[in-house]
Structure 1
């Protein structure tokens, strides 16, 4: 129950463990092409160009930055935590002049403050982390993306801890790049960087005055490959992660069979059950309000008198949690992932393990109160 890698469906794992085909075999070309089409559907981005590249979520971030920003151009980072800091670092490495709209850990920057910065900044791009894995903060992505559009600024949304779990409508909202990785709510083991890029962002890339500095991150190398596979033709730049792409195709198919709105609703329902349990235990969340709290993970302060040893106590009961990540707070909180295939049974098992571990660590609560609260919420939502 960490915020990635998550639990994976057995059918996805069977695809990962199947005999590896040639990357130019007709059967693989069909699978890859179908996965690209499905990625558009999952991101609700029918007009976008999808990219599936071997690498981590950080590579997905770098693909966006490397192709949209040239040295000396200005970028605005809406900063909600650790991975917003990483985006700022990437932009700086590629020569951008970076301005950040910051807030305290657990908060999200005010949309009006971001719009004010956009109005006076002459920015090329604005970046925002949909859900920051370090803090569990859910940014107000829709109004931020729409604000960027009003000011003619390209919007790049980091959806690594959000895609296929948090509500997102790329085309309808006007987001230019939605990037993610395979190992979270997309439901595939680590190793794939995924992007859907709008026609406006592709036009901006084509209008570059300087070459992309990284060969591997250059969309110019990858675009012919993506176009060829989607058209059913073999092509080559670098060998794809064949089995991971096959697993991706299976998982995207499962996601679409569930339906995007149904999937978003399920993630909200599981999150509400977890939150009811945390309230019953008297645990304080790192996000400062419900409106900025993610549905894909919980970030929770340790109660007084309890430290990180509680994570080991939970693990002894068969549930794996994550410690803190934000550098200012990492020893003060822990994280519980709840995305992809998580259902009511996972909620109750995890909550029970946390409750028992906290009691063993000296935290005082009424026996069974957290499980009862989660169960009541699940029954109400169901």
Structure 2
């Protein structure tokens, strides 16, 4: 492992040693009396992390993208959906919903920006939407959406509309208050701010979302993603009773349990504040180097990752390769033709909370830019 690079991409992130140790649990039945409470407690701790008293978390084997697919439970043919698009993942969420018959209206913002509150409220006034989707942090651009302001405004205008948040790159690093902000569906995965290896799709549901699912007029056109299968399973595990539909990722859930124990051992507000502090430090280093982040303002910049425009004459592959040679793995861009023109750095989880990894990134980045001929 001596030649392993420090993983500072926007996910998967670095994993705590205790989380990795939990992954080495021997073969264990998913209905074993020792495992059942591990799963049940994990469900309860997810609720703590997103600050909810009553929401229903679902933990399924799969990637964060499986959360998009689960929207088949509340979407029916012809349903109107407003997608707030801040990058690659907003675009692809819209594509997913089209698969299930949704009629999509997109509010697109220029690269690095986000739809304004006025634009969103105007759109909601003009048409009745079954659902509005918002990507809290679009990992392609590092743009952070103001979920609180948008959700409360949407609910004030149209209480029946579901507010659905893609929070894959937000849970564990950005402020989220599920109940207070009147969210209906929150989608995330295990491998980013929650600090667990990839493989778990986590979705949190409001009572309103469940009611809309239960009152739909047509059958859900899915088998594995069907909430009819999963809601009883989650309720059983939380009641400390074994249940079965499909085999859960036992070892990953042990790892999730370990990470959630660490996260919930202190007030969640401290975690949000620490991510804000480290993000500000990295953004300052970027500015001091004469570079610009993709997010056009600091208010619209994520706290768990940063996307940065490269200097003229350099392409992402050059910088990514140079940092890799110094033991630091960062990511290039993923936004179409712009992909070679910027790079992305993740700063989440133990890299922020326990380890001072961002200093190594800044040092390696500064040295690599100089070696590649960049002069401020």
Work out whether residues 124 and 154 of structure 2, in 8 Å CA contact, stay in contact via their aligned partners in 1. Answer: yes
Given candidates 358, 363, 372, the residue that maps to 1:347 is 358
Partner Cα separation in structure 1 for residue 297 and residue 357 of structure 2:
24
Given candidates 214, 232, 238, the residue that maps to 2:240 is 232
Work out whether residues 306 and 358 of structure 1, in 8 Å CA contact, stay in contact via their aligned partners in 2. Answer: no
Work out whether residues 314 and 341 of structure 2, in 8 Å CA contact, stay in contact via their aligned partners in 1. Answer: no
Residue matched to 2:3: none
Q: Unaligned stretches of 5+ in structure 1?
A: 366-382
Residue matched to 2:164: 156
CA-CA distance at 1:259 after TM superposition: 2.1
Given candidates 100, 104, 108, the residue that maps to 2:110 is 104
Work out whether residues 196 and 255 of structure 2, in 8 Å CA contact, stay in contact via their aligned partners in 1. Answer: yes
3-state SS of 2:119 partner: helix
TM-score (norm 2): 0.95
Given candidates 179, 184, 190, the residue that maps to 2:192 is 184
3-state SS of 1:77 partner: strand
1:281 aligns with 2:289: yes
Work out whether residues 305 and 362 of structure 1, in 8 Å CA contact, stay in contact via their aligned partners in 2. Answer: no
Question: Within 5 Å, which residues of 2 pair with 1:114-263?
Answer: 114-150=120-156, 151-152=158-159, 153-263=161-271
* Structure 1 outlier segments of 4+, above 4 Å: none
CA-CA distance at 1:327 after TM superposition: 1.1
1:337 aligns with 2:346: yes
Partner Cα separation in structure 1 for residue 209 and residue 315 of structure 2:
46
Name the count of aligned residue pairs. 364
CA-CA distance at 1:305 after TM superposition: 2.5
Residue matched to 1:94: 100
Work out whether residues 286 and 300 of structure 1, in 8 Å CA contact, stay in contact via their aligned partners in 2. Answer: yes
1:359 aligns with 2:370: yes
3-state SS of 1:148 partner: helix
Q: Unaligned stretches of 5+ in structure 2?
A: 1-7
More off after superposition, 325-334 vs 346-355: 325-334
Residue matched to 1:7: 14
Deviations 1:261-308 (A, max 9, x none): 000000000001101100110111111111111111110111123222
CA-CA distance at 1:20 after TM superposition: 2.4
Partner Cα separation in structure 2 for residue 328 and residue 57 of structure 1:
25
Deviations 1:113-145 (A, max 9, x none): 111111111110000000000000001111111
Partner Cα separation in structure 2 for residue 22 and residue 324 of structure 1:
41
Given candidates 42, 59, 62, the residue that maps to 1:35 is 42
Coordinate RMSD, CA, aligned:
0.9
TM-score (norm 1): 0.94
Deviations 1:159-215 (A, max 9, x none): 000001001101011000111000000110000000110011111111111111110
Residue matched to 2:336: 327
Relative to its length, the structure with more helix (as a share) is 1
CA-CA distance at 1:62 after TM superposition: 1.3
Residue matched to 1:60: 67
CA-CA distance at 1:328 after TM superposition: 3.6
1:311 aligns with 2:320: yes
CA-CA distance at 1:341 after TM superposition: 1.0
Partner Cα separation in structure 2 for residue 148 and residue 68 of structure 1:
18
